[in-house]
Amino acid sequence: MKNSKSYDLALELSKDRKSYLICHRHEREIYLPYSDLGSVAKSVRIILDLTVCQYSRKANGFTVAYGDVKLSNGLAVARNSSDYFSFKISLNEVLFCPQRGVILEGI
């Protein structure tokens, strides 16, 4: 991932936009800590590749769950949970999950 930027992302856990968690993109992974999600997994690891970064502005749909999420060609599937949510990829734009009101956005 030469010349890749380091992105900071905020994960909004509540609809009132008061609960944020910060994660950092290093190399090919984003690690999202969760402190408030009760019985679900405490973290989500998102593996990015350069192809996803290049095509992310097309806002391809992907599916994400609490667990490991692998991204490829703008698509992501998490296989560690039966509880799936729909997002769209778009760098520097809001990634929104209407089912839970969870917003992931570039800062």
Strand partners, 55: none
d(CA 90, CA 74): 10
Residue 68: what pLDDT?
38
40: in domain: yes
- Determine, yes or no, domain membership for 2: no
Decide if 88 is inside a domain. Answer: yes
Q: Is position 16 within any domain?
A: yes
The per-residue pLDDT for range 77-98, each reduced to its tens digit, is 333 333 333 333 332 223 333 3
Contact present, 94 and 106 (Cβ < 8 Å) = no
Number of domains the chain is built from = 1
* Segment 46-62, tens digit of pLDDT: 333 322 222 222 333 33
Domain coverage including residue 14: 8-106
User: Residue 29 has what pLDDT?
Assistant: 37
User: Residue 1 falls within a domain, yes or no?
Assistant: no
3-state secondary structure of 58: helix
| Domain membership flag for residue 3 | no
